[in-house]
A and B are shown apart, each in its own frame.
Chain A
């Protein structure tokens, strides 16, 4: 079965390649494409063939664009991949943590697709592949998801431009990557599907009260809590689902550490407990952290605790990428159960 699927995928990829080649202008460099990503020009002479995908959003987007067979390596899943990509991901070379720059280069990649910006940042917490320029110099093209564009190459989460955090930038990435990889049709399909599903949710929640929603990372608190701030993509997803990120006004970083007292002061209507980072993670595994928050005597008066609106959630759900529609639907079901089933 896997062989057949691979063959079909390869055939599809090939046909897309030829389709793209045919559509381009005639000349010696028919497949040469340049698009701009986070302030850098990304130029290819033809569709990249050896792609390394770092982090969940990049891995899922590669599969969504039909690039599964071009993945020479994948790293750092935050949870299980979406069911539609599970088979394709199973055969891929996978690293639990980010590999070193040397290990990365040993795969001879011609393209690194990253779902987060820290991997090209000197200040990165999970290790770094080096700046994008340093990889381009070696002939390795790179891509950061646009909703996470840092203000300069070599910077990371501390320098996200808040204006870039939008679903439109996910679509722009899909279109641009579609151009680079000769997968324009597939990109348009994915975009249409996302837009249709998100519009359906938005229509259902229109006019409803907008509850406040906090996304909390368990296990990182050290006595306080780590919540998703304004630049986190969760802010966009919650808005689409008919709610408001309770910490949207904290815009310095994606993940903001706050005190337990500040959390009590904000008293959010819903709390999503965002589990991370393991390739086999599911919502169920964050249940103990949900129970822990519910049982904390300091939080007993919170609306979310009294109404049992503390819900298992996954970090993967609130990353920018092709989960956008899926996550919007999930949040809407949680905060508007009467309108979205």
Chain B
């Protein structure tokens, strides 16, 4: 791929790999900070004790039952959202694509509200399946609607279909929550996006879904590069465009659906992190994808730590923090690069 060397701050494989290693180090630091910071600050020794010699003290319990699941949620949901955004931008060749744009979050959200309101499912372990089912149905509907007419599923038609379906599903969700206040209350807090929703049990349950999604996504890097040349050229180069789209859609449903079920719909991360990765390594998806996996959880965990510290003793949910810090950063990105050049 010659085009991969055209742009990006890091031009060769060596610096990119070294940079990625540095990014992993920063991520590990963010993980540690997430374990140490909060209503009380702990030392690394406390974390080790809670993990290795759990004695049931307050500190042990806070670390094991609150901060560990929270940090793990940030890691998993962050990686999932960053990858899902990068995949969607690659597949739709739309620089503003994210799990929100193609109706994935809206589908997951409506399914969760239905699970709470109609079926009385109140445990988070129940949400996963509904969120993924909703995400899948929404993705399929968007693809079907976007494929109607001449030219098949063009990026623009997909994006339009996604926007329309998101609006439709969003209004149904609003209507459902307004009809029943107890549902509304529960959903109102769920809807913002928070790393504290998931318990250790649900984190463990989410791991296989997200792991499969990550492997599937990383395997698609080369195909996304070919797709970036345009559908016709990609087909000429031997890429089976429809298969790539279906596999990418499956990965997005796995990743975004599971992340939404764990943490609620968190905005901005899936949209902006792939752009940051692209700024660093250029348009080669074989590098954008792994960088997104590392950068997105770093951003999410640091945003969550900020949310714990700035309004103590209250907390800002991470979805609010990512929106607060993310929107200006994204505007800066838009101003710095011509986004249409994907």
A residues touching B (Cβ–Cβ < 8 Å)? 96-97, 125-126, 219-224, 250, 252, 256-262, 264-265, 276-278, 296-301
CB pair B189 A277 closer than 8 Å: no
**Whole-angstrom CA separation of A51 from B61 in the bound complex:** 53
CB pair A301 B56 closer than 8 Å: yes
CB pair B186 A219 closer than 8 Å: yes
Do A219 and B182 form a contact, CB below 8 Å, given A261-B39, A265-B40? yes
Nearest 4 interchain pairs by C-beta: A223-B196, A222-B189, A298-B65, A261-B39
With an 8 A cutoff between CB atoms, is B195 at the interface? yes
CB pair B313 A223 closer than 8 Å: no
Q: Which residues of A contact B226 (CB under 8 A)?
A: none
**Whole-angstrom CA separation of A56 from B150 in the bound complex:** 59
**Whole-angstrom CA separation of A219 from B186 in the bound complex:** 6
B residues touching A (Cβ–Cβ < 8 Å)? 38-40, 56-58, 61-62, 64-66, 70, 178-179, 181-182, 185-186, 188-190, 192, 194-198, 264, 308, 312-315, 317
- A222 touches which of B58, B181, B196 (Cβ 8 Å): B196
CB pair B61 A257 closer than 8 Å: no
8 further contact pairs, Cβ within 8 A, besides A219-B182, A259-B196, A277-B185: A97-B179, A220-B189, A222-B264, A224-B196, A257-B314, A276-B182, A298-B65, A301-B61
Cβ of B285 to closest chain A Cβ, rounded Å: 34
CB pair B62 A264 closer than 8 Å: yes
Q: Which residues of B contact A223 (CB under 8 A)?
A: 70, 194-198
- B182 touches which of A256, A260, A261, A277 (Cβ 8 Å): A277
Chain A's closest residue to B198 (CB) is A223
Do A259 and B195 form a contact, CB below 8 Å, given A126-B181, A264-B58, A301-B58? no
Interface secondary structure of A, over-half rule: loop
Count chain A CB atoms within 10 A of each CB in B66, B179, B194, B197 and give the residue with the most. B66
Q: Which residues of B contact A96 (CB under 8 A)?
A: 181
Count chain A CB atoms within 10 A of each CB in B178, B196, B198 and give the residue with the most. B196
Cβ of A279 to closest chain B Cβ, rounded Å: 11
- B61 touches which of A221, A262, A276, A300 (Cβ 8 Å): A300
Cβ of B182 to closest chain A Cβ, rounded Å: 7
Q: Which residues of A contact B181 (CB under 8 A)?
A: 96-97, 126, 277
CB pair B313 A258 closer than 8 Å: yes
- A259 touches which of B57, B186, B308 (Cβ 8 Å): B308
CB pair A298 B66 closer than 8 Å: yes
CB pair A262 B182 closer than 8 Å: no
Do A221 and B189 form a contact, CB below 8 Å, given A259-B38, A264-B62, A265-B40? yes
13 contacts between A and B (CB under 8 A): A96-B181, A97-B181, A222-B194, A222-B317, A223-B195, A223-B198, A224-B194, A258-B314, A259-B38, A264-B61, A297-B64, A298-B61, A301-B56
Q: Which residues of B contact A252 (CB under 8 A)?
A: 314
Q: Which residues of A contact B317 (CB under 8 A)?
A: 222
CB pair A262 B39 closer than 8 Å: yes
**Whole-angstrom CA separation of A219 from B179 in the bound complex:** 17
Chain A's closest residue to B316 (CB) is A257
